[in-house]
Amino acid sequence: MPTGENTVMMRAHATSGLDDTARDSGPTHREPLLDLFPETIFARLTHALADLAETARLWRLCWTLGWLDVKLRYRGSVLGPFWLTASTAVMVGAMSFLYTALFHTSVAGYMPFLSLSLVLWNFMASIVNEGATCFTAAEGMVRSIRLPFGLHAARCIIRNVLVLLHNVVVVVVVFAIFHVWPGNRLIWATPGMVLWLLDAVAACLLLGTLGARYRDIPPIIASLMQIFFFISPIIWKPDLIAKGHEWLQLNPFYALIEIVRRPLLGGHAGLHLWHLAAIDSAALWLAALLLFMRVRSRLAYWI
């Protein structure tokens, strides 16, 4: 056997793409080589990063899987994925009338806030909830073909971004009815959304790994998210808290929600909120990367 390459690397993906262009590039193209053995510490990092790079290379597959997930859920129904829009609309409508009565506020002041909050929270909560099962749910794929694990995380994120886009329709309609328009401020929500997507990748890797190893994690997370729904400023505005505002800062969802929601409601997120969001995200990414590095090669055994 030729063992020319002594590099301690897992070169290329098993079924890595030798499409026509690659084939025609001749001898300069590197052979697909799968070389596996127990990892050294350094290899753990490079393999984890290679996993993510391979996921990026398979973006078309990620996209198709995510899109098919949404399409399949509603295949054969009349409204199709617009059932998402419809159920969110009903939810926003019902809750608006209940809570304007409870909080003694005007519908015009509350409904745009609630519609945006609910739609954003639904996205965040389903990333967290579905992220915890993103590897175990892909059991069939994991056990039949070697794929980067980041792919299952990306699929989960793309699916939920598509759901979010269907729900955004509700927000746009509510904003139009009440003539709330963020205008130029819309731009300021973009960095927040980018941070959300980055955090979503880390959350899926972290929770997906934990969920694969400990099967109690997904139900625990589901009930935690229930609690966070009420203790985070989703259905109530953060300025309703008169005393103890600093406690709110311990809630990781608070800053993350605000950096996207405030600009969209025509306000300013402010540097302080961005600091908090950056700290939360850095901690999340560090935890995700360390755990994923440590156990990536074992994930298939657990699923």
Which residues in this chain contact other proteins in the complex, by CB under 8 A?
1-3, 13-21, 23, 26-27, 31-39, 57-58, 60-61, 64-65, 68, 72, 75, 140-147, 213, 215, 297-298, 300-302
Nearer to other proteins, 37 or 230 (CB): 37
Nearer to other proteins, 11 or 185 (CB): 11
CB of 20 to other proteins, least distance (A): 6
CB of 50 to other proteins, least distance (A): 12
Contacts 24+ apart (CB under 8 A), 280-287: 280/199, 280/252, 280/255, 280/256, 281/195, 281/198, 281/199, 281/202, 281/256, 284/199, 284/202, 284/203, 284/206, 284/252, 285/198, 285/199, 285/202, 287/202, 287/206
CB of 48 to other proteins, least distance (A): 13
Nearer to other proteins, 138 or 180 (CB): 138
CB of 164 to other proteins, least distance (A): 23
Q: How far is CA 10 from CA 45, 58, 70, in A?
A: 12, 17, 33
Nearer to other proteins, 12 or 193 (CB): 12
CB of 125 to other proteins, least distance (A): 25
Nearer to other proteins, 1 or 242 (CB): 1
Contact 56, 151 (CB under 8 A): no
Nearer to other proteins, 42 or 230 (CB): 42
CB of 159 to other proteins, least distance (A): 14
Cα–Cα distance, 294 to 287 (Å, whole number): 11
CB of 33 to other proteins, least distance (A): 6
The three-state secondary structure class of 4 is: coil
Nearer to other proteins, 151 or 259 (CB): 151
Cα–Cα distance, 154 to 65 (Å, whole number): 9
Contact 249, 276 (CB under 8 A): yes
Cα–Cα distance, 68 to 284 (Å, whole number): 29
Cα–Cα distance, 270 to 262 (Å, whole number): 9
Cα–Cα distance, 222 to 128 (Å, whole number): 8
